[in-house]
Structure 1
Amino acid sequence: MFFNLVILVALFLVDFAPASCEVGAFIYNGFQSGNLSLDGIAKLTSNDLLLLTDSKTKDQGHAFYPNPIHFKNSPNGTAFSFSTTFVFSIRSDYRSMSGHGLVFIIAPQRGLQGAMPNHYLGLFNSTNNGNRSNHVVGVELDTTFTEEFGDINENHVGIDINGLKSVAVHTAGYFDDTGLFHNLTLASGQTMQVWVDYDGSTKQIKVTIAPLHVGKTVRSLLAMKYDLSPILDQNMYVGFSSSTDPVPTHHYILGWSFKINGKAQELSQLPRLGRREESRFLTITLTLISLVLLVVAILSGSLCKKEEEVWLSSTRLKIGQAQAQLR
């Protein structure tokens, strides 16, 4: 009888154990499982990619791991260490413009109430940006310049606490083993990987970014001391946010790994991105400019027949090269 009582008590305690305690790590090598909480225009593609925003709609998209993560043992406790890594690609329809970037976020809830697109990156709005009550931590990959938020340029990586005015920021790039800095263009369409590491004992946050084929470098791009304990609640949600206005842009996540109190698992066998879509606008513009120049040259009589043929051949070649670069 005593033995049966012990079993009943044990089952009772198991039933009332917090479910979030069971979630300390996860990995997505592609998103074929569909086990994500999506809103806005975020969706999963047929080739297992997470697409936060596309090039058809000027709006915002969010994707969260569906279960809360246990970040502290008590409301006033010390935040645990955590590690995450993800692979992304930002592809704009226009080479020289994109908008607005994406953010890895830790937030109290999956739904970001009142969040605005545009330069607010689907995170905040004009009334709550910077509020201490937000309890949001983010690492932004920002591809537009916003003077309001103190941005340093239109291509930077920043650590955000409760708002979009970064507490640490650096032009996008990485340091090689010799200490030489290499610039990266976030919206180039190149596949890149990000690592975010927080040490709960030293209160150190580190952010590293590099092309996928380079791997994690010894020296991080951003490193700062900041105690996240007052910012993080006991249970938080982790995910991504992105917005596109004014320039329609594809924001892809190819893989994602996360772990509390340990190193995030390495990503492998990631899905492939399709070929870059050609920008009809740029192609038509190049063709029209070439035709106008040709008409002007012929009417002015400045080109002989042979020179016209050479010029036409050169123009066609340049148009072909421009189209090839857009693919």
Structure 2
Amino acid sequence: MAARFLVHLLLLAAASAVAVTSAAASASLATNATAGPLAPAAPGGGDGNVTGFSFSRFVGANRGANVTVLGDASISQGALQITPDTINDAATFLTHKSGRVLYATPFKLWHREGRHGDEANATAGDGKRVASFSTVFSINIFRPNGTEPAEGFAFVIAPSADEPPTGSSGGYLGLTNAATDGNATNQIVAVELDTEKQPYDPDDNHVGLNVNSVVSVANASLKPLGIEISPAKPTNYTVWVDYDGGARRIAVYMAVAGKAKPGRAVLAAPLDLAATVAEWSYLGFSASTGSKYQLNCVLAWNMTLEKLPCDDGDGDARRRTVGLAVGVPVGVTVLAAAAVLAYVCVAKRRKAAHGGGDDSSAITGTMIRSLAGGPREFEYREIRKATNNFDEKMKLGQGGYGVVYRGVVVGDHTCPGGAGSAVEVAVKKFSRANTQGQNDFLAELSIINRLRHKHLVRLVGWSHDNGELLLVYEFMPNGSLDQHLFGPAPGRQLLGWELRYSIVKGVASALHYLHDEYDQRVVHRDLKASNILLDAAFGARLGDFGLARAIETDKTSYIEEAGGGVHGTVGYIAPECFHTEKATRESDVYAFGAVVLEVVCGRRPRCDVEGFHFLVDWVWRLHRDGRALEAVDARLEGAFDREQAERLILLGLACSHPTPGERPRTPAIQQVLLGSVPPPAVPPFKPSFVWPATDGGLDTVSSTAGTTASQVSLTSASTWSGNFMKGSLRHAFEQEVSDSLP
């Protein structure tokens, strides 16, 4: 009985989707975050996902959990101390030291396309596809008591999480030693910030690119830029490292913390990671001291990296990429573990007693039937018959959570035609008939079960037999908004202006209901054109609640409790989500803004237009130049209401504001669409996205020495979410980096 009670607790927690608050000791968040599809910039580019993590500070609990601390490194004072930070005798405790701190999980940095017989899609003649990435970190390299600085610090890519080599202190930066320096078997790449001049260095204050050796293949002095890596007065710096896997080039930017990312790289050079590093590599930092010393500290670190496909059968590799969710309270973890154990025991007993059977289906069915006002339950055979045994010809679409089929079922008294009528439905068949699939199924059902709004897709019923998870929705005969904007079927006419404006109003009404009118606040988390369906009268119906989550009315955001990560689709994801990994009403409004501009312009949010890689940036430029109406879909041939078009463009830009607090709320959005209030004021230049977005847009962090307090601001370009992508990076290199080359 106790075991069964624990099982019910676990399933109820999944159905309620209650956000778990992090323990205070685990304030740093580090997860492998899937951010959604990447748009390929070249043949073979972008397979659909990104991954990454973010630390706003570091605590002792990070050690062993999500960072590996090696050699003489440590974690203290909210920072990674890559070499010792101590007031003890310097000659004993500070000199001739080397350390490394690496993210605990390796990442796949290149992939041999030919393994799947797809050489044509390789990005280079070697048949290898290389991941693009963007990392930004805040550092403080401090020389206590005014001593001379030495030796240096580096961002490193390493093949293993091994200790620094013996003899890697001094000029070897914790990377190599006298015996191994220059060996191709090292498989190491590092971006060094060197503060000690060796015979092979330009000076004692430069940035260099190291490949298997501390002798840089490219370097640049920082003195002409007025940057001193280890100044007498403690100074925090922000360093950006962008790598373009398509072009196979690297660029390094550096600025005093709190300043925006410079437009020009301090160092840019070709770099082929596929020919240099291990396919699976670790990312982190390395540093050393010699007879002279300095304190090498990392205060914050953010990484976003293109996620490459795993090879078939590479189970170990897949397991290594499992995200680490930090900060889940111990009590909840123990409860979940106990519930899973109890579930296994109960299932085994029932299977032994009854000769098999799917006990999880019975438990899940019981949970669904207990929902207040639960929807109609279908027998599996009814759904199989309705979809002609899930015939491919009945397939309407496919997403990350499952496949959707068209079907016809016999209606009951709740259907418009009454009992016995033929009702067209859309059947969503979950693709993961396992524990996670059940959680997704229950989470979606628990939210949409009680939602009632004319602009939401209505749930007709459900089925959970034979391990199959099925949700049955009313059928939308006119498909999705995405299909009408970008892939009109034969015989379908282009959406006219009146219909477009009406669709936007319908979506705004549905979003207002979810955010402010329903008894729980619901964040959709995946609002996009393909999830906006059109009924027989072309009325908008917001659907696909597979990512939606309910939050308490006194809360402001929902945090994914198991696995974490950025959810949604690139182009619709608000920039702050890459840092907070929280879903909010403001992030939904950002996605709504992307949809508004998409409807007006007839272009996808992620597109290439006149040198821009995101629609919002192009429209903002036209707005700045007083030419906003030129963004309206040219296929309309001028058949649109100019006042309404201007209203939608300004509303779309306002909703796309990089700062969450500057975006309008849904009540104001509805008033604008009704014409009862003027559209929001939009600045001529798109504001830069600044994170952390605390008061003043800055986060205060104590310096290593403890004598000053500096502010760290990780800033991003307006197209942050695409800067690590191949297309955007390539454009950035062409427009910005070439000037830094000799």
Alpha-carbon distance between aligned partners in 2 of 1:203 and 1:242, rounded to the nearest angstrom: 26
| Contact 1:193/1:215, CA 8 A, preserved across alignment | no
Indicate whether 1:101 and 2:152 are aligned. Answer: yes
Indicate whether 1:27 and 2:62 are aligned. Answer: no
Deviation at 1:226, TM superposition (A): 2.4
| Contact 1:61/1:122, CA 8 A, preserved across alignment | yes
Deviations 1:78-108 (A, max 9, x none): 2211111111011112536111111100010
- Alignment-mate amino acid for residue 237 of structure 2: M
The residue that corresponds to 2:702 in the other structure is 272
Indicate whether 1:134 and 2:186 are aligned. Answer: yes
Alpha-carbon distance between aligned partners in 2 of 1:216 and 1:250, rounded to the nearest angstrom: 25
- Alignment-mate amino acid for residue 101 of structure 2: A
SS in 2 for 1:229: helix
Alpha-carbon distance between aligned partners in 2 of 1:204 and 1:232, rounded to the nearest angstrom: 14
Alpha-carbon distance between aligned partners in 2 of 1:21 and 1:192, rounded to the nearest angstrom: 26
Alpha-carbon distance between aligned partners in 2 of 1:126 and 1:275, rounded to the nearest angstrom: 32
The residue that corresponds to 1:62 in the other structure is 100
| Contact 2:250/2:269, CA 8 A, preserved across alignment | yes
The residue that corresponds to 2:71 in the other structure is 40
The residue that corresponds to 1:12 in the other structure is none
**Aligned ranges 1:310-321 → 2 under 5 Å:** none
Alpha-carbon distance between aligned partners in 2 of 1:270 and 1:94, rounded to the nearest angstrom: 24
Q: TM-score, normalised by structure 2?
A: 0.32
Farther-moved stretch of structure 1 (89-98 vs 250-259): 89-98
The residue that corresponds to 1:9 in the other structure is none
SS in 1 for 2:185: helix
The residue that corresponds to 1:51 in the other structure is 81
5+ residue gaps, structure 1: 1-19, 174-180, 278-327
| Contact 1:106/1:136, CA 8 A, preserved across alignment | yes
Alpha-carbon distance between aligned partners in 1 of 2:167 and 2:147, rounded to the nearest angstrom: 27
| Contact 1:256/1:267, CA 8 A, preserved across alignment | no
2:130 aligns with one of 71, 79, 85: 79
Q: TM-score, normalised by structure 1?
A: 0.70
Structure with bigger gyration radius: 2
Alpha-carbon distance between aligned partners in 1 of 2:272 and 2:705, rounded to the nearest angstrom: 42
Deviations 1:9-36 (A, max 9, x none): xxxxxxxxxxx99893011110124131
| Contact 2:148/2:293, CA 8 A, preserved across alignment | no
SS in 2 for 1:271: strand
Alpha-carbon distance between aligned partners in 2 of 1:168 and 1:134, rounded to the nearest angstrom: 18
Deviations 1:191-238 (A, max 9, x none): 001111110111121001110122211111111222221112221001
- Alignment-mate amino acid for residue 65 of structure 1: Y
| Contact 1:85/1:256, CA 8 A, preserved across alignment | yes
Alpha-carbon distance between aligned partners in 2 of 1:203 and 1:230, rounded to the nearest angstrom: 10
The residue that corresponds to 2:139 in the other structure is 88
CA root-mean-square deviation: 2.6
- Alignment-mate amino acid for residue 247 of structure 2: T
Deviations 1:93-132 (A, max 9, x none): 2536111111100010111343510111111011111111
Distance change in 2, residues 1:190/1:73 (3 Å): same
| Contact 2:136/2:241, CA 8 A, preserved across alignment | yes
The residue that corresponds to 2:217 in the other structure is 167
The residue that corresponds to 2:45 in the other structure is none
The residue that corresponds to 1:248 in the other structure is 293
Distance change in 2, residues 1:250/1:267 (3 Å): farther
1:193 aligns with one of 238, 243, 259: 238
The residue that corresponds to 1:239 in the other structure is 284
Alpha-carbon distance between aligned partners in 2 of 1:143 and 1:231, rounded to the nearest angstrom: 26
The residue that corresponds to 1:325 in the other structure is none
Alpha-carbon distance between aligned partners in 1 of 2:81 and 2:260, rounded to the nearest angstrom: 23
Alpha-carbon distance between aligned partners in 1 of 2:271 and 2:297, rounded to the nearest angstrom: 29
Which structure's residues are more often strand, by fraction?
1
SS in 2 for 1:73: strand
| Contact 1:254/1:270, CA 8 A, preserved across alignment | no
Alpha-carbon distance between aligned partners in 2 of 1:90 and 1:126, rounded to the nearest angstrom: 25
Indicate whether 1:184 and 2:227 are aligned. Answer: yes
Alpha-carbon distance between aligned partners in 1 of 2:248 and 2:255, rounded to the nearest angstrom: 24
SS in 2 for 1:24: strand
Of structures 1 and 2, the one with the larger relative CO (CA 8 A, separation 6+) is 1
| Contact 1:142/1:155, CA 8 A, preserved across alignment | yes
Distance change in 2, residues 1:267/1:131 (3 Å): farther
SS in 1 for 2:273: coil
Alpha-carbon distance between aligned partners in 1 of 2:130 and 2:205, rounded to the nearest angstrom: 30
Alpha-carbon distance between aligned partners in 2 of 1:275 and 1:119, rounded to the nearest angstrom: 24
| Contact 1:92/1:247, CA 8 A, preserved across alignment | no
Indicate whether 1:124 and 2:176 are aligned. Answer: yes
Indicate whether 1:144 and 2:203 are aligned. Answer: no
The residue that corresponds to 1:14 in the other structure is none
- Alignment-mate amino acid for residue 146 of structure 1: Q
Moved over 4 A (4+): 20-23, 262-267, 274-277
Deviations 1:51-86 (A, max 9, x none): 112254221111010011111223962221111111
5+ residue gaps, structure 2: 1-31, 35-49, 116-126, 308-574, 580-689, 693-698, 708-742
**Aligned ranges 1:283-322 → 2 under 5 Å:** none
- Alignment-mate amino acid for residue 49 of structure 1: A
Distance change in 2, residues 1:110/1:209 (3 Å): same
Deviation at 1:250, TM superposition (A): 1.1
| Contact 2:255/2:262, CA 8 A, preserved across alignment | yes
The residue that corresponds to 1:313 in the other structure is none
| Contact 1:102/1:242, CA 8 A, preserved across alignment | yes
The residue that corresponds to 2:268 in the other structure is 223
Which structure's residues are more often helix, by fraction?
2
Distance change in 2, residues 1:183/1:272 (3 Å): same
SS in 2 for 1:119: helix
SS in 1 for 2:139: strand
Deviation at 1:182, TM superposition (A): 2.5
Deviation at 1:162, TM superposition (A): 0.8
Alpha-carbon distance between aligned partners in 2 of 1:151 and 1:94, rounded to the nearest angstrom: 26
